Amino acid sequence: MGIGKKKLIRPLILLIGLILGGGGAYYYINYLLTTPITLEDIEVDDTAALKLNVIEQISKKNGVTEWQLNASSATLLKARNTAVLKDINIIFYTKQHTQVHLTATSGELDTKTHDMTFSKNVIIRYQRYTLRSETLHYAKKPHIIYSNSRITVNDEDSEIEADSMQILLNQDLIILKGHVKGQFSEHIKNANLL
């Protein structure tokens, strides 16, 4: 063999070695990245929290939907049996199938009883009424929404304030209590006041 051929063979052998080595490294790294990791002996204590993004939950009783909840996040606190919710949008259903829409910045859901508390920018849209309060509660067993803090109820022609309120969802009824006062428009022609 001539000296020219030897100079040509060495770079070719080196190039073939680099190609084979690069291909082998690619397949090994790909194998490591696609193989599932198995974790063993994981212990979760009572105070552990699990955070979920975008949660949807539906509650039914005897096959009838009572409410449908959406939230941007939920942090589950096992020790307290609580889900801490953010950016809540929930629809409650009355026995007469009327929808009651509730939005709130934050809230808590008891994961055992499904009772709830809502706070910050709480707004309810119920028929033609808009209700606003800083805190509202939902009791699942009697299927009622209630507030023990000041509440404002508006429609197109009136504004009513009260110290407390209950929405009896099974009866499609709002009850206002304690220092109830209101402003009514002159345009109201037929008003039934109790």
Ranking 15-29, 147-161, 178-192 by mean pLDDT, the lowest is 178-192
Does one domain contain both 59 and 104? yes
**pLDDT over 60 at 45, yes or no:** no
Are 119 and 135 in contact, with CB atoms under 8 Å apart? yes
- Tell me, yes or no, whether 26 and 80 share the same domain: no
Q: Please say if the pLDDT value at position 2 is more than 80.
A: no
CA dist., res. 140 & res. 143, Å (int): 5
CATH code assigned at 111: 2.60.450.10
- Would you give the DSSP letter of residue 39? P
Domain span at 112: 49-184
Summarised one tens digit per residue, pLDDT across range 171-191 is 888 888 888 888 877 655 444
Same domain, 116 and 167: yes
- Residues 24 and 54 occupy one common structural domain: no
Cβ atoms of 126 and 174 closer than 8 Å = yes
Answer yes or no: do 77 and 123 share one domain.
Answer: yes
Instruction: Yes or no: say if 79 and 46 are a contact pair by the CB < 8 Å rule.
Output: yes
Q: What pLDDT was estimated at residue 183?
A: 81
**Which of these, 60, 115, 43, 105, lies nearest to 83 by C-alpha position?**
115
- The answer to whether position 158 is within a domain reads yes
Residue type present at position 12: L
pLDDT at position 64: 84
R_g over Cα of the chain: 31
Q: 98 and 154 share a domain?
A: yes
- Long-range pairs for 35-42 at CB < 8 Å and ≥24 separation? none
